[in-house]
A and B are shown apart, each in its own frame.
Chain A
Amino acid sequence: MASIAELEKICTQVRRDIVRMVHAVNSGHPGGSLDCTEYLVALYFEVMKHYPEKFSMDGIDEDLFFLSNGHISPVFYSVLARSGYFPVKELTTFRKLNSRLQGHPTTHEGLPGVRVASGSLGQGLSVAIGAAIAKKLNKDNNIIYSLHGDGELQEGQIWEAAMYAAAKKVDNIISAIDLNGQQIDGPTEHVLSLGNLKAKWEAFGWDVLSMNGNLLPEVIETLHRAKTHTGKGKPVIIIMKTEMGHGVDFMMGSHKWHGVAPNDEQLAQALKQNAETLGDY
């Protein structure tokens, strides 16, 4: 088990990777990537049982993670690379021609760690549920994790999947919502209010937990606790309150940094706020 201090160090390095990746190609989605850093670092470096060096698509006898809001690929790629799925140096190819690190994650170029393409929103929960059912059929007691954006909940397929998982007692899944309250056109509250999310998921029959997604100890504690909620007849979801752009002060709390890259000066400022701990790629 890694210490909180060690995991915090990984977080600052991941944040450096994120801003450097999107800066290098002047495109990509830093806002959501930054605010999901603690969650993904906790999953990949502490919570999940997984075998980065021997990636297999079927993922038998290990926990699996599905990223449904594929636009936060920078944080996903950084965490995959830093946990050993592929060389950290490959982060330099992000969004470039002939890269395995496509703008949105895909299996198409064979990048280890990715098990389905995502980008077109709303599809990942269904896929995660399918993988959870496959685990049950295979008598594999490991857990499926999935992450979804809050704006993504405006997609109807999410609620088809939510209804299914509860009705059919798919209780080996722990999903999470990145509740940063922002989407491309502005605050979710203005674009299309999500209403009372906790009440909605409970009404759909899910076991609902919540946490502050930017407080690492709380994230780790909640994810471990969520595991004890599996196998009890209900799918589990964590409503994860975050601040878009967390960790880079001028990006925090605004939808403006959903899909915009920092300029040279902004990059320098962002890097100053996040120490290089594991060596830049």
Chain B
Amino acid sequence: MKKYTYTEKKDTRSGFGAGLSELGKINPNVVALCADLTGSLKMDAFAKEHPERFFQVGIAEANMIGIAAGLTIGGKIPFTGTFANFSTGRVYDQIRQSVAYSGKNVKICASHAGLTLGEDGATHQILEDIGLMKMLPGMVVINPCDYNQTKAATIAIAIHEGPVYLRFGRPAVPNFTPADQKFEIGKAWLINEGSDVSIFATGHLVWKAIEAGEQLAAQGINAEIINIHTIKPLDNAAIIASAKKTGCVVTAEEHQMNGGLGDSIAQLLSRELPTPLEMVAVHDSFGESGTPDQLMTKYGLDAVNIVEAAKKVMSKKTITAQ
């Protein structure tokens, strides 16, 4: 197992804030909009550095999406910021008609996604956003794993022409992606080469997949770990090649099983290479109040759950082989 270390834990939303601030300096067409969550989204730096390009819209997310769509007419590249729940479910029709169907170059940037929002509870813990966004034709869906990757992704999506959903979170998590790693939309990152089982993880679950890989290695199981930061477009070639090599697959994400990364990979493999598959995800349930760690444990999104899923799916592989 390749060794991954980190010097500090940082929140992915701060990676977004840092990336946006850097974009502000290098791209005069980048503008930002926020619906009364500037501090939570870490958009303060951009707002301070470029007040003429920062738009505080108040608690009016539908209007924010519409204004963002309009700003593209005239060449601006709008980045909208609010919580993931208010970035997607609340404004689905606005995104569908004014952004996606209209082909507008809007970057929908969403923090506090998933259970790790914590104590605020299920009203704010959206676990359906990846599914909502990936169903929209032409929408790119990205869920980076740590501070450095979120910063790099933020900078990269400004160059991509078309709507993007960028999903990140609240808690401080290990920051292990090399700071100079280039972010390529739709290109999976091979974290560890292995031969026994493929673990495809996204977002906060990538570090947990690394921890799981270490635990599996200690038990003599050689896991291949791949960071799928881009859920759409999916890196089909990387997924099929790995599944072909290992013969069994675990997917891991902080999202509903319905509509998430596992769902996309299951679809792909069912069509191209039917492979035993287990999903580490939330099973058709809302979240609740609690600390992020407590919630990840209660809802089965820890390293130990990935380890169990890997062993289970490997046993299916044996049966299939016989």
Q: Which residues of A contact B (CB under 8 A)?
A: 57-60, 64, 66, 106-108, 115-120, 122-135, 137-138, 140, 156-157, 160-161, 163-164, 167-168
Contact = CB atoms under 8 A, between A and B. Distances in A.
Nearest to B55: A133
Interface string B45-87: 0000000110101101011111111111111101000000000
A58 B70 contact: no
Given A58-B75, A138-B75, A107 B103 contact: yes
A115 B75 CA distance: 13
B68 A130 contact: yes
B70 A129 contact: yes
A163 B60 contact: yes
A103 to B, nearest CB: 13
Most B-side CB within 10 Å, residue of A106, A117, A140: A117
Contacts of B55: 133, 168
B71 A131 contact: yes
Contact of B97 (A120, A125, A135, A156): A120
A160 B64 CA distance: 9
Interface of B: 31, 52-53, 55, 57-58, 60, 62-76, 78, 93-94, 96-98, 101-104
Nearest to B91: A157
Contact of A137 (B66, B76, B103): B76
Contacts of A64: 73
15 contacts: A64-B73, A108-B101, A116-B73, A117-B97, A126-B69, A126-B98, A127-B70, A130-B69, A130-B71, A131-B74, A134-B75, A138-B75, A160-B60, A160-B63, A168-B55
A138 B70 CA distance: 13
A199 B94 CA distance: 28
Contact of A127 (B57, B67, B96, B101): B67
B61 to A, nearest CB: 9
A161 B74 contact: no
Contacts of B78: 130
Given A108-B102, A130-B67, A157-B62, A118 B97 contact: yes
Nearest to B59: A160
Given A126-B63, A160-B60, A164-B58, A117 B70 contact: no
Contact of A126 (B58, B67, B103): B67
Given A123-B97, A131-B70, A117 B62 contact: no
B278 to A, nearest CB: 39
Given A134-B75, A157-B94, A128 B58 contact: no
Contact of A164 (B60, B68, B73, B76): B60
Contact of A57 (B63, B73, B96): B73
B108 to A, nearest CB: 14
A128 B70 CA distance: 6
A43 B75 CA distance: 24
B103 A108 contact: yes
A68 B60 CA distance: 18
